[in-house]
A and B are shown apart, each in its own frame.
Chain A
Amino acid sequence: MPQQQPQPSPTPPRKKKIRVPRVVNGIDTMVEIEVDDVAGPGWGPNDKHTLLNHAYTRVDAPLKVSGAAHYTYDVRLPGMLYGRILGCPHAHARIKKFDASKASTMPGVKAIVQTPLTEFRFAGSPVAAVAATTPELAQDAARAIVVDYEVLPHVVRARDAIKPEAPEVLARDTRKPDEKNLRFAAKAGDPQKVEAALAASDAIVEAEYYTPRIHHACLETHGMVVDYSGGDSATIYATTQGTFTIPKDAADTLGLKESAVTATVQHMGGGFGSKFGIGIEGMLACKLSRATKTPVKLMMNRYDEFVMAGNRSGSWQKLKAGVKNDGTLTAVRATQYRLGGVGGGSQAGQPYAVYRAGEFYREVYALHTNEDSSIAMRAPGHPQASFAMESLLDELAYKIGMDPVAFRKKNMRDEVYHRQLDRGAREINWAKRNTKAGAGAGPLKRGIGCGAGTWGGGGNDQCKVEVTVGRDGSVLVAVGTQDLGTGTRTYTRAIVAEELGLQIRDVVEQIGNSKLGGANPSGGSTTAASLSPSVKDAAIKTRLALAEKIAPLLGNPKPEEIAFAGGNVSAGEKSLSWKQACASLPAAGLTAHGVWRQDLQSRGVHGVCFAEVEVDVETGKVRPIKIVQVQDGGLPLNRLTMESQLNGGMIQSLGMAFWEERVMDAHLGMQLNPGFGDYKLPGSLEMPEFVPLIDDDDKREVVIGIAEACIIPSLGALANAVFNACGVRVRELPITPDKILSVLMSERRTA
């Protein structure tokens, strides 16, 4: 395995100014930026690639389909112990007594450690962990630990927590002693101008929208295997979205130097924003390993995964908006509560960034409950805000009798959305939709709705890539990045293969190890835009270095004039096969180092969705029929995996729309559905037709990440489709049959 060599400081490169497309305040703009003047060739036109921007299969697929891919959960080491977490059963409690005396003498038990907390603020909060020789014995021992708690009052429902008399979830902030569970976070805009604009509007809609806590539900739970036997180094097998987010904290807990700890992740079973750093589970695993000087595997069980591994914060949004009869959005006023449990939660500020309102004012608060802290989940804060905004816009459009697509176009910041809306509308056949919501004899009624999203997706300079060409013609590209199932391994090979005129199978990649070149964690949809420019840079340098070496064999052309294509290397009349060219290399082959090139990536993507649903107005059941999503992303590195990402975004959005929610028992303070039996994930019987469309009208010759963009626009589209179908506006997710029926039945009673 290549060791990361310290690089000598280079002389600072010359700078030059270039103009690149950026999204500024939501508008596509050409801006001037300064870059190093060593850039070199770009990607070239998006439609001129031989591998990139085509559909090619994943290089790790054969391993995964045959059970040969090894995940953290699959790791087995000699003498390895199994870890198990003990959680607090109460929603709010203090430890009075912790007695592990019986547990520690049980068969197979090798260590018991406590977390440093003495006060617990959610049911399931980790108290201790056990290491034993089998999973069953670890479970037995955890149950045998006796803990006396002083049980304290709790509150788990937002509507209860906001009341002044509610039990307090957190300790008071001494800087703001008047705030209890409702804590001010931010405000923006001008409230007086908003009131004036509302007063001058032709129509107003005021409504409250609510989205519950949603779970990542990664199939591979959180956890790690700590390969440590009491020596001066350790290897951590981590199911993580960030190879390099592991070593330091693991080393600190093990009492080792950071450089003595290697993190490795070859495949991981889902993250969706939840897996950065070692977490409490990793800290406990390291403590157990350190105490026993033995390898420890601690993977959360499914109950722990639901109650303590984090989730998407809920939202409670009070919106009021005004509109002119010509469709101009005059004002938006918002009071936004972020429901993040003991954490602050996240929520994009209203009005949602796709749209512009004449005037706006928002106040944002965190509203705390005795639940584990929400954490990042695919496009944090965006689906929540988008759902409310798209519903509100739809309500305004219907109120003034304007087509919802035309209404959106009138109020969008960026004209790119117009062409995406047109394409999506054609694909779903928007023209056939009922203009009167709920029209039709029933009982099965169909409707169509739309929504739009926005995301950044730009990169950073953390990726350091190494390409090595062997004398035997082998090509190795190495970087410590991670592949979450996003296809990172595959495009990493493809970029190099295309540059060198080879097939994907001619290149081998090495990733997921902290001893390889650095890489950023896969968060914020930053991976592709951080990694691909560095891979391309390494590939270009490899090509030019090899070209320089073999130029004498081709009649001494300039290196940049030598063509690498179809497995051959040629200039003018002379040609060598790839293998012949490489045979002239020295024994150590050739190595090139790639660094980030800012000009090969950008930030700022759009995205629209059109959804068709069928509502049975007798049962209230909603059946999704078809979802069309149009997504831009600059240069698509791999069309096959990009389409799969779009499908994934649409499906997770379906879950949020119709089935998924954390249900808490107000009295017990516990989650009632911490398992897949009662937390309903989208399943095969619920799948509609999906139409993932890559927006090829986006000609930007840059790579931009879309992993989060593609989960945003569908939620509003689905909610709006339900309204169009049956005339019922459900403002509280998930849209379940009871919510539709209760409105329909009360309408029938009053009719």
Chain B
Amino acid sequence: MSDEPKKKTSRYDPSRRKFLKGVGVAGAGAALADSLLNRDVSAAKSKLNAPGDPISGSVNIALDINGQKRNATVEPRTTLLSTMRDRLEPGITGPKLVCDMGTCGACTVLMDGKPVYSCLVLAVDAVGKKLTTVEGLGTPENMNAVQRAFVAQDALMCGFCTPGFVTTISAYLKKNSNPTLDEVREACKGNFCRCGTYPRVFEAALAAAKAGVNG
């Protein structure tokens, strides 16, 4: 696989996939990211310093996830979701791949504290951001208030949507620590459930708000 940047005289190919595969653009925080971006690649690539310079082929990046520095080799088009699930070793599989196109919320992670769909974030754009997944919010032995409330209210069934909801609600309660039911519903509108846990998800969010969110 060639690491050379595509020549400007190469045959014009309008397909989006080829564009994304061939050429990516380093994220906005590229200057900051230089310290995280491992550049043990070809000499041509070592000239990539300024934001907006193209990257292509295979890129080694480091991500700040759940307080840990995690290394991965990705293509420019690889999503943050796929990076966590398929490329990190060991993988981070709390965020789920359900639609892969930003229509269901199962892949929700926090990027600098704000919920984002990790299937819509390119891994290279997540460099330099503080990322939190559901695993970073609590463990089975040490759950946060939202997770404890989900257990108590039975706000889950198959559980596949649950990491997304827990992540969304944990972030929301930090923003609004005493929401109404309507505010909870509004906050959850980007997360879908098929088993039918919504009413108990809402109850869990309100119960967690009452208990006070920690972490």
Q: Which residues of A are at the interface with B, using a C-beta cutoff of 8 A? A: 57-58, 60-71, 73-74, 76, 82, 107, 134-136, 140, 143, 216-221, 267-270, 272, 299, 301-302, 484-487, 640-641, 643-645, 647-652, 675-677, 681-685, 687, 689-690
Contact = CB atoms under 8 A, between A and B. Distances in A.
B138 interface: yes
B185 interface: yes
A135 B123 CA distance: 15
B104 interface: yes
Interface residues of B, number: 66
Interface in B46-104: 75, 77-78, 82, 85-87, 89-101, 103-104
A684 B102 CA distance: 16
Main secondary structure of the interface of B (DSSP, over half): loop
B151 A219 contact: no
Contacts, number: 191
B161 A219 contact: yes
Given A65-B150, A217-B194, A684 B140 contact: no
Main secondary structure of the interface of A (DSSP, over half): loop
B77 to A, nearest CB: 7
A76 B87 CA distance: 10
Interface string B141-170: 101001100111010111111110010000
Contacts of A650: 196
A561 B86 CA distance: 57
A367 B93 CA distance: 43
A645 B156 CA distance: 11
A72 to B, nearest CB: 11
Contact of A67 (B77, B104, B141, B163): B163
A69 B159 contact: yes
B151 A57 contact: yes
B4 interface: no
Given A107-B1, A684-B189, A302 B198 contact: no
Interface string B1-39: 100000000000000010001000000000000000000
A58 B196 contact: no
B186 interface: yes
B197 interface: yes
B139 A485 contact: no
21 contacts: A58-B156, A63-B159, A68-B139, A69-B159, A71-B93, A74-B85, A74-B93, A76-B86, A135-B82, A220-B98, A220-B158, A267-B159, A270-B158, A272-B194, A487-B157, A648-B197, A676-B99, A681-B192, A685-B185, A685-B186, A689-B199
B126 interface: no
Contacts of B86: 76, 82, 134-135
A26 to B, nearest CB: 28
Contacts of B163: 65, 67
A81 to B, nearest CB: 11
A301 B100 contact: yes
A136 B185 contact: no
Contact of A68 (B1, B97, B140): B140
A527 to B, nearest CB: 14
Contact of A687 (B93, B104, B198): B198
B162 A65 contact: yes
B133 to A, nearest CB: 7
A706 to B, nearest CB: 14
Given A61-B150, A219-B96, A683-B192, A66 B140 contact: yes
B188 A64 contact: no
Contacts of A216: 194
Contacts of B75: 134, 136
A220 B201 CA distance: 19
Contact of B160 (A219, A640, A683): A219
A-B CB proximity, top 9 nearest: A67-B94, A648-B196, A485-B158, A64-B159, A269-B160, A651-B196, A485-B157, A74-B93, A62-B140
Given A68-B139, A136-B78, A690 B199 contact: yes
B137 interface: yes
A643 B205 CA distance: 18
Given A74-B93, A219-B96, A675-B99, A683 B189 contact: yes
A652 B150 contact: no
Contacts of A73: 93, 96-97
A678 B82 CA distance: 24
Contacts of B90: 76
Nearest to A711: B196
Nearest to B156: A64
B82 A675 contact: no
B19 to A, nearest CB: 13
Contact of A681 (B1, B94, B139, B194): B194
A301 B103 CA distance: 13
